[in-house]
Amino acid sequence: MSKMQESTDKEVRKEIKTLTGAEIFIECLKEEGVEELFGYPGGVILHIYDQLYNCKEIKHYLVRHEQGAVHAAEGYARVTGKPGVALVTSGPGACNTITGLANAYYDGYPIVVFTGQVASGLIGNDAFQEADVVGITRPCCKHNYLVKDTKDLPRVIKEAFHIASTGKPGPVVVDIPKDVLTDKAEFIYPEKVKLPGYNPNYNGHPLQIAKALNLLYKAEKPLILCGGGVIASDAPEELLKLAKILNVPVANTLMGTGGYPGTDELSLGLVGMHGNYWANMATANCDTLFTIGARFSDRVTGKLSKFCSDAKIIHIDIDPCSISKNVPVDIPIVGDAKKILSDMLNIINPEEIAKTAGKKAQWVDKINEWKQKRVKFSRTDNKMNPASVIQRIYELTKDKDPVICTEVGQHQMWTGLIYKFDRPRRFVTSGGLGTMGFGFPAAVGAQVGQKDKLVINIAGDGSIQMNIQELGTCVQNNIPVKVFIINNGYLGMVRQWQERLFNEQYSHTCIQSPDYVKLAEAYGAVGMRVTREEELDSAIIKALETDGPVFVDFIVDSMEAVFPWVLAGDPICNVLMGKEGCQDVQGEYS
User: If you compute the radius of gyration of the chain from its CA atoms, what whole number of angstroms results?
Assistant: 25
Q: Describe the crossing of helices 277-285 and 357-370 by its angle, rounded to 10 degrees.
A: 140
As a CATH number, domain 206-370 is 3.40.50.1220
**Looking at the DSSP assignment, which residues form a beta bridge with residue 222?**
288
Class of domain 15-187: alpha beta
Known catalytic residue at 5: no
| Catalytic pick among 493, 498, 528, 559 | 493
- 95 backbone dihedrals φ, ψ, rounded to 5°: -65, -30
Q: In what order do the strands lie in the sheet with 550-555?
A: 427-428, 403-406, 455-460, 482-487, 550-555, 526-530
Q: What is the mean pLDDT of residues 103-108?
A: 98
The HSE-up count of residue 272 (CA atoms within 13 Å, CB side) is 24
379-559 adopts what CATH topology?
A: Rossmann fold (3.40.50)
Domain with CATH 3.40.50.1220 in the chain: 206-370
Known catalytic residue at 493: yes
| Catalytic pick among 158, 178, 339, 482 | 178
Q: What is the mean pLDDT of residues 149-158?
A: 98
pLDDT at residue 431, rounded to an integer: 97
Give the CA-trace dihedral at 478, 479, 484, 488, to 10 degrees. Answer: -80
The overall pTM is greater than 0.75: yes
The DSSP call for residue 482 is E
Beta strands 222-226 and 171-177 are: unpaired
- What are the distances in angstroms from CA 396 to CA 194, 399, 455, 480? 50, 8, 14, 18
pLDDT at residue 579, rounded to an integer: 79
- 434 backbone dihedrals φ, ψ, rounded to 5°: 60, 60
Q: Which residues contact 156 (CB under 8 A, 6 or more apart)?
A: 145, 147, 174
More confident site: 378 or 427:
427
CA 583, distance to chain mean position in Å, is 35
Distance of alpha carbon 150 from alpha carbon 188, whole angstroms: 11
- What are the distances in angstroms from CA 239 to CA 58, 339, 351, 479? 36, 11, 20, 34
Nearest Cα to 205, choosing from 338, 345, 333, 347?
333
Q: What is the mean pLDDT of residues 523-528?
A: 98
Nearest Cα to 37, choosing from 129, 90, 101, 112?
112
Instruction: Let me know if 396 is exposed, middle or buried by CB neighbors in 10 A (0-12, 13-18, 19+).
Output: middle
pLDDT range class, residue 587, cuts 50, 70, 90: very low
pLDDT range class, residue 568, cuts 50, 70, 90: very high
Asked whether 513 and 459 are in contact (CB, 8 A), the reply is no
Distance of alpha carbon 78 from alpha carbon 448, whole angstroms: 12
Instruction: Let me know if 535 is exposed, middle or buried by CB neighbors in 10 A (0-12, 13-18, 19+).
Output: middle
| Catalytic pick among 23, 27, 32, 66 | 66
What digits encode the pLDDT tens for the residues 248-284?
A: 999 999 999 999 999 999 999 999 999 999 999 999 9
What digits encode the pLDDT tens for the residues 14-52?
A: 468 899 999 999 999 999 999 999 999 999 999 999 999
| Catalytic pick among 30, 31, 59, 129 | 129
Residue type at position 44: V
Helix (H, G, I), strand (E, B) or coil at 228: helix
Q: What is the mean pLDDT of residues 434-454?
A: 98
| Catalytic pick among 57, 128, 395, 502 | 128
Instruction: Let me know if 307 is exposed, middle or buried by CB neighbors in 10 A (0-12, 13-18, 19+).
Output: buried
Known catalytic residue at 35: no
In this predicted structure, the answer to whether residue 395 has a pLDDT above a threshold of 60 is: yes
Helix (H, G, I), strand (E, B) or coil at 82: coil
Q: What is the mean pLDDT of residues 461-475?
A: 98
pLDDT range class, residue 380, cuts 50, 70, 90: low
Q: What percent of the chain has pLDDT over 70?
A: 95
In this predicted structure, the answer to whether residue 442 has a pLDDT above a threshold of 90 is: yes
pLDDT at residue 16, rounded to an integer: 80
Known catalytic residue at 384: no
pLDDT at residue 10, rounded to an integer: 45
pLDDT at residue 382, rounded to an integer: 76
In 373-525, the DSSP E strands lie at: 375-376, 403-406, 427-428, 455-460, 482-487
Q: What string of DSSP letters covers 294-352?
A: ----HHHHBSGGGTTTTSEEEEEES-GGGTTSSS--SEEEES-HHHHHHHHHHT--HHH
Distance of alpha carbon 277 from alpha carbon 367, whole angstroms: 10
More confident site: 10 or 201:
201
pLDDT range class, residue 297, cuts 50, 70, 90: very high
Distance of alpha carbon 305 from alpha carbon 402, whole angstroms: 39
The DSSP call for residue 158 is H
User: Hey, how many other C-beta atoms are within 10 angstroms of the C-beta on 379?
Assistant: 20
Asked whether 448 and 478 are in contact (CB, 8 A), the reply is no
Known catalytic residue at 178: yes
Domain with CATH 3.40.50.970 in the chain: 15-187, 379-559
Distance of alpha carbon 503 from alpha carbon 153, whole angstroms: 57
Burial 337-363 (b: 16+ CB within 10 A, else e): bbbbbbbbeeebeeeebeebeeebeeb
pLDDT at residue 2, rounded to an integer: 55
pLDDT at residue 554, rounded to an integer: 98
In this predicted structure, the answer to whether residue 556 has a pLDDT above a threshold of 90 is: yes
Q: Which residues contact 547 (CB under 8 A, 6 or more apart)?
A: 480
In this predicted structure, the answer to whether residue 317 has a pLDDT above a threshold of 90 is: yes
The DSSP call for residue 465 is G
More confident site: 505 or 590:
505
Nearest Cα to 294, choosing from 346, 348, 256, 251?
256
What digits encode the pLDDT tens for the residues 109-126?
A: 999 999 999 999 999 999
pLDDT range class, residue 585, cuts 50, 70, 90: very low
